[in-house]
């Protein structure tokens, strides 16, 4: 009887592990497959650099952000999400592993904030102390942090390469209120393979050009 109880206990634990793993995979899949932007050429301010096409789309309104990040609009906390979309129409792989991204307006430059740092911008928990001396435990916030949603990380831009014929997309986050006539400035993009040439810089406007 004791052996039967133990075996049932093991089976029960296996069942719980499978259920939890399935739920976790389902949530991840939903975060990755529930959002499908167009190609760069579908947007009015897309740019070309050789065989590479790029679009940058700002998300400001509640309606825009709700479809991607849920109820909380990150702009209310001073964070502007920008969707980057790349399409490689050439025959060479495009390398993004050295790409630098900036939000620029009237001579000002803003670097993107890593998605993992967003929860610390709302006045909630402080960043962990990574120093060697006397780290202080971080108290859990009493309310759900609006910038701690899993969507911010799962939808963050992470591609390092773009294969021929491939399109990739993802969000970058800037701690800034959108400024009229601002643009995204991209450098460090290059073609793969021996002697791959740099694509210099790309400026992508964030506001729709006048008709």
**pLDDT tens-digit map of 54-110:** 999 999 999 999 999 988 899 999 999 999 999 999 999 999 999 999 999 999 999
Q: Per-residue pLDDT tens for 25-44?
A: 333 333 344 789 999 999 99
CA atoms within 13 A on the CB side of 85: 19
**Structure letter (DSSP) for residue 141:** P
Q: Could you give the CA distance from residue 206 to residue 44 in angstroms, rounded to a whole number?
A: 10
Q: Sign of torsion, CA 121 119 172 94? A: positive
Outline where 42-186 has alpha helix (H): 62-69, 150-154
Say what the pLDDT of residue 35 is.
85
Q: What's the longest Cα–Cα distance across the chain?
A: 80
Say what the pLDDT of residue 185 is.
98
Q: Are 180 and 186 in contact (CB under 8 A)?
A: no
Say what the pLDDT of residue 133 is.
43
Asked whether the whole model's pTM tops 0.85, one would answer no
Per the model's pLDDT, the better-predicted residue between 137 and 113 turns out to be 113
Say what the pLDDT of residue 65 is.
95
Q: Could you give the CA distance from residue 153 to residue 147 in angstroms, rounded to a whole number?
A: 10
Q: What percent of the chain has pLDDT over 90?
A: 62
**Closest C-alpha among 211, 209, 206, 207 to residue 84:** 206
What's the whole-number mean pLDDT along residues 180-197? 90
The CATH number of the domain covering residues in 39-205: 2.60.40
């Amino acid at each position: 009887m004791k052996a039967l109880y133990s075996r049932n206990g093991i089976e029960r634990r296996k069942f719980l592990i499978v259920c939890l793993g399935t739920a976790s995979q389902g949530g991840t899949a939903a975060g990755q497959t529930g959002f499908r932007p167009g190609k760069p050429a579908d947007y009015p301010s897309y740019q070309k650099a050789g065989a590479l096409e790029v679009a940058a789309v700002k998300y400001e309104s509640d309606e825009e952000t709700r479809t991607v990040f849920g109820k909380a609009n990150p702009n209310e906390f001073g964070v502007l999400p920008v969707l980057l979309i790349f399409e490689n129409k050439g025959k060479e792989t495009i390398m993004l592993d050295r790409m630098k991204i900036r939000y620029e307006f009237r001579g000002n430059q803003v670097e993107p904030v890593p998605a993992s740092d967003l929860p610390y911008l709302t006045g909630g928990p402080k960043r962990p102390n990574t120093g060697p001396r006397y780290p202080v435990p971080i108290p859990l916030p009493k309310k759900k942090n609006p910038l701690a949603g899993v969507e911010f990380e799962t939808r963050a831009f992470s591609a390092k390469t773009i294969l021929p014929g491939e399109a990739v997309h993802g969000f970058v986050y800037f701690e800034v209120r959108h400024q009229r006539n601002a643009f995204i400035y991209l450098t460090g993009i290059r073609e793969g393979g021996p002697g791959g040439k740099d694509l210099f810089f790309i400026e992508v406007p964030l506001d729709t050009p006048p008709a």
